[in-house]
């Protein structure tokens, strides 16, 4: 019994290290977009691509559409309640949001179809005191559309709705500050 617990702890630590190491994989990407009936997906370094639009309900029942946020920088963060790196990242996102909510919107898209349900999401939001919109991907469609294979995965979207950068793994407040500064520099 004790060996099983130690083994499980070691596996958990290795998973966290794996996710943290992935946070260095930062590049601009193109996500799947509807073009008639065909789906397209490609990774294009250094090439601006429009973010695929979506509408999801928030935890409070409000519908939020990505394209309605044009004019603001948007961080689309895809996550789950059971994900240790997601838990690590959320306090940083909240602090960042408190400082920058006038110019930056955070859409925390919970991969609800891969999670433990909306009650767990609500508990998570309460535990971390999150005040930015938490959206529910109940069908898994947005996770697929944005090619989420590792969580958390975040997309930084500029004021015109173009993808500036994709980040795989957790971000901290300092890194979010650097990303927004870099994006603002490119827009000048």
pLDDT tens digits, one per residue of 111-144:
999 999 999 999 999 999 999 999 999 999 999 9
Q: Is the pLDDT of residue 20 over 80?
A: no
Query: Is 13's pLDDT higher than 70?
Result: no
Where is pLDDT greater, at 21 or 47? 47
173-183 as b/e: b if 16+ CB within 10 A:
bebbeebbeeb
Section 27-31 average pLDDT: 31
Mean pLDDT of the chain, nearest integer: 82
pLDDT 10s digits, 30-66: 333 333 323 233 234 456 799 999 999 999 999 999 9
Q: Bigger pLDDT: 91 or 38? A: 91
The per-residue pLDDT for 59 is 93
Alpha-helical regions (H) of 101-170: 118-128, 141-145
pTM of the entire structure? 0.76
Average pLDDT over residues 1-12: 49
**What is the dihedral angle through the alpha carbons of 104, 108, 150, 7, rounded to the nearest 10 degrees?**
120
| 17 contacts: CB under 8 Å, gap ≥ 6 | none
């Amino acid at each position: 019994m004790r060996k099983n617990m130690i083994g499980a702890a070691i596996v958990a630590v290795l998973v966290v290290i794996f996710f943290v190491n992935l946070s260095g994989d930062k590049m601009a990407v193109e996500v799947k977009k509807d073009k008639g009936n065909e789906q397209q997906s490609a990774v294009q370094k250094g090439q601006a691509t429009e973010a695929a639009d979506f509408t999801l309900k928030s935890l409070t029942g409000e519908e939020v559409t990505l394209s309605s946020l044009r004019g603001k920088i948007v961080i689309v963060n895809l996550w789950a309640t059971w994900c240790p790196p997601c838990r690590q990242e959320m306090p940083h996102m909240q602090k960042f949001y408190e400082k920058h909510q006038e110019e930056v919107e955070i859409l925390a898209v919970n991969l609800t179809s891969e999670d433990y349900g909306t009650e767990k999401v609500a508990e998570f939001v309460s535990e971390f005191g999150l005040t930015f919109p938490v959206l529910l991907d109940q069908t898994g469609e947005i996770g697929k559309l944005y090619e989420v294979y590792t969580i958390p995965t975040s997309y930084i979207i500029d004021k015109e709705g173009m993808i500036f950068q994709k980040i795989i793994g957790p971000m901290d407040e300092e890194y979010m500050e650097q990303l927004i500064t870099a994006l603002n520099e490119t827009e000048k």
